[in-house]
Chain A
Amino acid sequence: MWFRDLIKISLRQLLRHWRRYWGVALTISLGVAGFITVVTMGEDFKNNLNDNLELIGGVTVIRVTLLNEPGWRPLWFQPDIIDSVREIKGVRASSRLAHKMVKIEVATRNWTIPMAAVDAGFWKVRGFNAFKGELFGQEDLQERRRVCVIGKILLRKLFKSRDMVGRYIKINGELYLVSGVLGGTHASDLAERVYLPLSTASDRIPYLFPDRLYVRCNTWDDVERVSEELPVVIGKFYDPKRIDVQYSYDALQHVLRVVTWSEFFVYLTILATLLLGGLGIWTIMMSAVRTRTREIGLKKAMGALDRDILSQFLTEALCLSVGSALVGIIAGRIAVQLASHMLKSPVPEDIFLSCVSMGFLMALGLGIGAGIYPSIRASRMQVAEATRYE
């Protein structure tokens, strides 16, 4: 039999009897599409989840504190330490913080309030945003402007929730412009503070050293490793015994557990779908050997060699699995495109292409694996018995 004829009669069989095959075809397409989508967009999806700090309970933030002791030379995060920290793999951003109590004067009354002096990156590291107005930024730090951000509770306590954005308040006797009110957190200790640019505060408040560093990791997978590397990197500058590294261990473990199980179930579902497809091919081909016995006998009577029958059945199984995989690849591409649109990140084409080839190989494996035995049985059939079969 010519190859062209082989393809022709196999496809003809599949298309004319499509009712018999569409269920299996759908199953395999779904499996392949799912596989491609999950593997291609999984990393982007993870990054996207990690972008939303509140959603994952801030587990990707590590807090490093230098343990200062009174009377000793103060330990603080100098710029070269920050540079080395940023070189650690998996670190997305970092921000320093210095804190001290300050006096705020409101209508001739003085309040003692906790103050945090921070880098411009602080908001991003902690996932904070402006509830009102704006949070100060890089330019304010460079220009050492006298601006401040106040927490919500503080706003209520000191200013009776009046709109303070754009007004001036007196901190330690100097006027600061209120640029915004802090949102994105409900923790009382964070909402009760006033925030100043680190550069401005260092100039104006004596003995103020940033002894705390917040490090935000790319994903939850990086947290444990980064937290182990931090004391090593910072330890080149200071005695490791005076470096305290903390992250919310329990919350991280919880997130990791959820993630691991979700991944496990997703892959299990895909695997089960593909296996189901393979089982479907097997069942169809096995029953075909029985129900198409007369057809096989007739074809052999017309001169079909054993290998003609074998290759026809195997080609049918392969066309079914590979054809379904093709549909799955197209569906997968659409799903990937949609996901990339929703996650607002480009499709990683190299991962996509390797998924496509893997999906193809899996389909090939399914077709051959599930089709070979029934095909051999069909080809070995005796003509006399097959043509007598009713």
Chain B
Amino acid sequence: MSSAGKSRSTGDPILVVRDIVKRYPNGNQFIDVLKGISMTVRYGEMAAIMGPSGSGKTTLLQILGLFLRPTRGTYLLAGDDVLKLDRNAQASVRGQRLGFVLQGCDLLEKTSVYENLEYPLIYTRFSPNKRRERIHLALERVGMTHRINHDANKLSGGERQRVAIARALVNLPEVILADEPTGQLDHKNSHIIMEYFAEVVGKGDTAMIMVTHDAEIARHCQTIYHIEDGVLKG
């Protein structure tokens, strides 16, 4: 990837989107879920997106995660026009440069913590003999190394979410995208999770964009966007 050689330093823009429109067909008509979203996120920045249910938060995050192509708009990731890429190249960007925590906990069934974290490394052809070290590092950041060989489904809700975050970190992504990462957690665990995020992003080589309903959680972030009627309000 072209970003490999570029330096990552706090304050440089990593993610720049302009005038993103997402239009869904609705019977004979259309509905514009996103009506021209523009935002810039920098290394070391944590951004929260808030808004009522159905306002398009997940849709925006899916566009940023290259799950979905916008109807219009531009999207530069560290200067690369990632919307111009084909399916495979976008998949590579997802694997190597983005990290995801999806809405609702998403660890794979009947797999250990280690195996869950190995998948992103498998898909990006990460050298097999360096995997354990890398997985260990990611688990260390969320304080889960002692559970490395545990069955992922037998962990508590908070532990599962921490593993999901470790999985998003394992490929050292430039941007972490998290859709309600604290949605199913209690107050205490939510703040623990946010502190892990703050620690990771605080190193300055990553940015994070998260969706949340909880204003108190959003307070951990430097930037808070409100999305209403398909438009972003800073």
- Give A residues with C-beta under 8 Å from B: 1-2, 4-5, 9, 12, 16-17, 294-295, 298-308, 382-384, 387-388
Query: Pick the contact of A305 from B92, B115, B167 — CB < 8 Å?
Result: B92
- Verify B106–A303 contact, CB threshold 8 A: no
Q: What are the residues of chain A within 8 A of B111 when measuring CB–CB?
A: 12, 16
- Verify A9–B88 contact, CB threshold 8 A: no
- Distance between Cα atoms of A294 and B171 in the complex (Å): 21
Proximity string of chain B (42-83) to chain A, C-beta cutoff 8 Å, 1 when within and 0 when not: 000000000000000010001001111000000000000000
Chain B residues 95 to 148 lying within 8 A of chain A, measured CB to CB, are: 95-96, 100, 102-103, 106, 108-111, 115, 119-120, 122-125, 128
Q: Can you name the residue of chain B whose Cβ is closest to the Cβ of A387?
A: B102
Number of interface residues of B (CB under 8 A): 31
- Verify A301–B102 contact, CB threshold 8 A: yes
- Verify B108–A1 contact, CB threshold 8 A: no
Other than the given A298-B108, A301-B94, A383-B68, 16 more pairs (CB < 8 A) read A17-B110, A295-B109, A299-B123, A301-B100, A302-B100, A302-B119, A302-B167, A304-B95, A304-B123, A305-B91, A306-B91, A382-B67, A383-B67, A384-B62, A384-B68, A387-B62
Min CB gap B99→A, angstroms: 9
Of all A-B residue pairs in the complex, the 3 with the closest CB atoms, nearest first, are A303-B95, A383-B67, A303-B123
Given known contacts A4-B128, A9-B122, A388-B58, A303 and B108 CB-to-CB distance under 8 angstroms: no
- Distance between Cα atoms of A1 and B119 in the complex (Å): 10
Q: What are the residues of chain A within 8 A of B167 when measuring CB–CB?
A: 302
- Distance between Cα atoms of A16 and B110 in the complex (Å): 7
Say if the beta carbon of B87 comes within 8 Å of chain A: yes
Given known contacts A300-B91, A383-B67, A384-B67, A305 and B123 CB-to-CB distance under 8 angstroms: yes
- Verify A2–B128 contact, CB threshold 8 A: yes
Q: What are the residues of chain B within 8 A of A1 when measuring CB–CB?
A: 122-123, 125
Q: What are the residues of chain B within 8 A of A4 when measuring CB–CB?
A: 128
Q: What are the residues of chain A within 8 A of B123 when measuring CB–CB?
A: 1, 299, 302-305, 308
Proximity string of chain B (148-181) to chain A, C-beta cutoff 8 Å, 1 when within and 0 when not: 0000000000000000000100010000000000
Q: What are the residues of chain B within 8 A of A9 when measuring CB–CB?
A: 122
Q: Can you name the residue of chain B whose Cβ is closest to the Cβ of A304?
A: B123
- Distance between Cα atoms of A383 and B87 in the complex (Å): 11
- Distance between Cα atoms of A388 and B68 in the complex (Å): 12
Min CB gap B143→A, angstroms: 22
Query: Pick the contact of B120 from A17, A295, A303, A383 — CB < 8 Å?
Result: A303
Min CB gap A2→B, angstroms: 6
Q: What are the residues of chain A within 8 A of B91 when measuring CB–CB?
A: 300, 303-306
Q: What are the residues of chain B within 8 A of A2 when measuring CB–CB?
A: 122, 125, 128
- Verify B67–A387 contact, CB threshold 8 A: yes
Min CB gap B106→A, angstroms: 5
Q: Can you name the residue of chain A whose Cβ is closest to the Cβ of B127?
A: A2
Given known contacts A1-B122, A302-B119, A302-B120, A295 and B108 CB-to-CB distance under 8 angstroms: yes
Q: What are the residues of chain A within 8 A of B65 when measuring CB–CB?
A: 301, 383
- Verify A306–B95 contact, CB threshold 8 A: no
- Distance between Cα atoms of A383 and B88 in the complex (Å): 12
